[in-house]
Structure 1
Amino acid sequence: MELSLETYGFPSGYFVIKNIATNRLLDVQSNGVEDGTGLILWPENESSLVEDMRRPEANNQVFFIDIYGALCSRSSGHAIDIENDRLVLRHRRPITHPCPNAFSHPLPRFSYDPETQHINITFEVDPTYPNSGNRATAIGNWKDKGYFVTALPLRKSRTMMDNASEMFSNAITSPLSLFGSGGHSGPPKGARPNDIFETGEFDLMENEILETDRSEEGEVDDSPERYRPVRMVGLTKEDECIIGDKARKRAQWVVVPIKPVRNRRIVSGGSTKSK
């Protein structure tokens, strides 16, 4: 493999990656180092952006582009890969056949576009690895899609009181609903993914809702949890035209370099002062 001195829009050296919509940083979950450890969004652990003033424990929120052009975590040194649309740590792996496959494949290329503030992902091969027997998740030709990193909203968990209140509210408007209407074996015709998720008629997880199908209610982000999920999304050009403003903001990032030393400026009398 040839060495690359290209940083693909990211700064050279170390940097942190902040999501604009959530004001949280990209973070290696629980500061893990094992293969497949997931990345999440988490509040900032260290406010200083000066190398010698930062706590080493915050390095799981620090990243860099290595000499091969891979996006890597500073805390473990491992590259970032995509696994079932999740961002995960990936050790270097031996070649196994048929190659490429879900275990052994070229790493995706992450690049940052400061104009759109997108973190784009480029694959050399189909990221579903259909030849290895995995279920294909992409619809249509994978090359027709643009792949990028986005945050996901997180709803607070429903309580028993929430469910009871909703049940009795429905019973008031439709008394037969308490006893079952009979013959309903699936969601109402024309139900949106968010409707199905809210009613519980299908076990549809929040991260399984397509960005193009996410309603205003599906954009609610009211969980008291400190973390937020982060995922890869693949959209065609037509899809990108119809997603909402909130979805666009969730896919925007600010990349902030970490300074190797404190800046010094000249003050009166010829002395220097750090800042």
Structure 2
Amino acid sequence: MSESQATGFPPGYFIIRSVATGRVFDVAGNFSDDGTDIILWPEKETSIVDPRRNPEANNQVFFIDTSGALCSRGSGHCIDVEDSRLTLRHRRPISLPFPNSYSHPLPTFTYSPKTSEIHVNFLCDPSYPPPSDAASVAWKHRSYVLTSIPLRKPKTFIDDASQFITSNLSTPLVSFFGTSADTNATPEEVASVGIDLAEDEVLEEDRGDEAEVDDSPDPKREVCVIISNEQRKGDLVEKAKRRRQWDIIPLRTVNKRTAGI
């Protein structure tokens, strides 16, 4: 069995498309520098027949190499994880103490056709603690998955004025009846009052429909690695589930002939 088949990805070149946004994996700016972000961007080339494709769209094409790493066709470099972001990474020599944020085993990526999720598999603690720290194996028992991030359009003056009026009209009513209303507090606001929201999966599972609005005209979307709480996946709203789902489109080397012709 080949590395690509073992990881769930098809052999050869393929495109990774977000189910939630319709955008595809893209090496930002078609750069090849270390640390270049992997983002979601509208598809630049619609043909899936490789010889017909524009080579300038190769920064949206990926493959699994012989070591099992996910790589960009445009540069040939691997995909790494840096502060939860996907980034382009040259292979680097070992530097001590190993592993560290500069030099470490590259993560591998596994695609599940059943769930359409892409899992990230780390070969060492992705926080790269110094050798002096007590060794922890907690990272080995976590499930890391890729998700797209929704982006709201910037608020206008009218939006801010409407929110101000609504807020100030509701406050006297709450005080009068002596009851507390749902304030739709953001995770950041909840965290500020001392509730422990350290785990990424708490934020993800508790976002709710309002936080899933994705209406920005900006063509760019972010893709990142999160910790998935497998026991609470059922709590995800439908939009959040779709943000974790990906279509893998293999490129064909030749046109398929219609049956019977």
Q: TM-score, normalised by structure 1?
A: 0.79
The amino acid of 1:66's aligned partner reads: D
1:1-275 map, 5 Å: 5-7=2-4, 8-131=7-130, 141-174=138-171, 192-194=185-187, 196=189, 210-264=203-257
Partners of 1:240 and 1:208 in 2: CA distance: 9
Name the CA shift for 1:107/1:72 in 2 (closer, same or farther; >3 Å): same
1:216-261 CA deviation, whole Å, 9 max, x = no partner?
Answer: 1111111111121111111232233432222111111110110112
- Give the C-alpha shift of residue 192 in structure 1: 4.2
1:175-201 CA deviation, whole Å, 9 max, x = no partner?
Answer: 7xxxxxxxxxxxx9997434739xxxx
SS at match of 2:169: helix
Partners of 1:22 and 1:128 in 2: CA distance: 29
Tell me the C-alpha RMSD between the 2 structures. Answer: 2.9
- Residue 271 of structure 1 is matched in structure 2 by none
Partners of 2:169 and 2:188 in 1: CA distance: 20
- Give the C-alpha shift of residue 173 in structure 1: 3.6
> Any conservation in 2 of the 1:194–1:209 contact (CA below 8 Å)?
no
The amino acid of 1:159's aligned partner reads: T
The amino acid of 1:171's aligned partner reads: N
Partners of 2:254 and 2:202 in 1: CA distance: 44
What is the identity percentage for the equivalent residue pairs of Structure 1 and Structure 2? 46
Partners of 1:209 and 1:28 in 2: CA distance: 29
Name the CA shift for 1:23/1:120 in 2 (closer, same or farther; >3 Å): same
- Give the C-alpha shift of residue 128 in structure 1: 1.1
Q: TM-score, normalised by structure 2?
A: 0.82
1:39-79 CA deviation, whole Å, 9 max, x = no partner?
Answer: 11111110101111100111111000111110000111110
The amino acid of 2:152's aligned partner reads: R
Structure 2 unaligned spans of 5+: 173-180, 191-199
SS at match of 1:130: coil
Runs (4 or more) in structure 1 with deviation over 6 Å come to 188-191
Name the CA shift for 1:208/1:192 in 2 (closer, same or farther; >3 Å): farther
Name the CA shift for 1:266/1:112 in 2 (closer, same or farther; >3 Å): closer
> Any conservation in 1 of the 2:187–2:203 contact (CA below 8 Å)?
no
Structure 1 unaligned spans of 5+: 176-187, 198-206, 269-275
Partners of 1:132 and 1:191 in 2: CA distance: 43
> Any conservation in 2 of the 1:145–1:237 contact (CA below 8 Å)?
no
> Any conservation in 2 of the 1:193–1:209 contact (CA below 8 Å)?
no
- Give the C-alpha shift of residue 264 in structure 1: 3.6
Name the CA shift for 1:209/1:229 in 2 (closer, same or farther; >3 Å): farther
Partners of 1:164 and 1:189 in 2: CA distance: 20
Count matched residues. Answer: 240
